[in-house]
Chain A
Amino acid sequence: MKNKELDQLIEQSFGYEPDFQLPDNFAQQVTAELKRRSQWKNNLIEYLFLIGFSSFLLTIVAGTYYLVNKEILIQILNFASQNIPSVIFVLVLLNFILFADRVLLPILFNSQNFNN
């Protein structure tokens, strides 16, 4: 058998496309995934901003009461220190509700839309 013929045969085969295929809507899937990730990031930033803003407002209110009427602030702190588990539970619950509302539910809702 001639070497040249074999070379030609091999060279031709090298140029043939392999069988690996991507689905027809692959580009749309990638774009949808990109939008999902971008939305997740934006929602998380929004959630963190709300947490930060709420903490800032709380600090301002506490500072104002400290200057105007220390007694109320001391009473609140006493109440909190006597009911630490309940206070932590309420804070975690509020935090979770805010997280679910701002981050989890929009992602779940939109992923259903993307899938449909």
Chain B
Amino acid sequence: MDDHELIRQILNGNMNCFTFLVNRYRKLVVHITGRLIQRRDEIEDVSQDVFLKVYQNLNKYRNESKLSTWIATIAYNTAINHMRKYKKGDDTIPDDHSVIRTLKDFKTIDYEQVDLHRYIRDQIELLPLQYRTVITLFHLEEFSYQEIEQITGMPEGTVKSYLFRAKAILKEKLKFVVDDNSLKKVKEISNEK
């Protein structure tokens, strides 16, 4: 069933179709709310709020954008509002030097024992809010720059800049901690997977 038909059915009162919609977009929503909020005990409640808002506003949805973009916008705004409400926000413009300084504290980890992909994912969670947001939307959910601009309100140039800087920070960190042997090992693990 395509999104257009799904919306029509939901607006006609078919709740099974709404359950279907939730199942279709739950990953998108939990990736956004999870990456932004980062508190497992709150992610479920905020994700539920997102879908309740989706249902309440479904009659206002116009086919000007993809349904996934529209739902992602609601998820982003709900997560940001939740963080502001409970003052857990990280709204400041990220300072790359301080981020790199924080990352350097992890130098003591024994990388021979660690799956580096797992390690990088952990490092992504330590990045500033804006970086985590654009990484999730661009790389994980594969939205275009224009769609990310629509979802977050960040200009396209800023999105590109954040992506570039996030990668640069992680690269700096990896250069600092990973030697050639570790990298070879990661490649082996990746190939095995």
The SS class assigned to the A binding surface is: helix
Q: Is A90 an interface residue (CB 8 A)?
A: no
Q: Could you tell me if B35 and A18 are in contact, using CB atoms closer than 8 angstroms?
A: yes
Q: Is A111 an interface residue (CB 8 A)?
A: no
**What chain A residues lie within 8 Å of B84 (beta carbons)?**
none
Interface stretch, picked from A5-13, A54-62, A63-71, A100-108, is A5-13
CA separation between A29 and B19, bound complex, in Å? 9
Interface residues on B, range: 35 or more
Q: Is A109 an interface residue (CB 8 A)?
A: no
Q: Could you tell me if B43 and A20 are in contact, using CB atoms closer than 8 angstroms?
A: yes
Given contacts A18-B35, A20-B30, contact A27 B23 (CB under 8 A): yes
Which B residues contact A (CB, under 8 angstroms)? 15, 18-20, 22-23, 26-27, 30-31, 33-35, 40, 43-44, 47-48, 51-52, 55, 116-117, 120-121, 124-125, 135-136, 139-140, 167, 170-171, 174-175, 178-180, 183, 186-187, 190
Which A residues contact B (CB, under 8 angstroms)? 1, 3, 5-7, 9-18, 20-23, 26-31, 33-35, 37
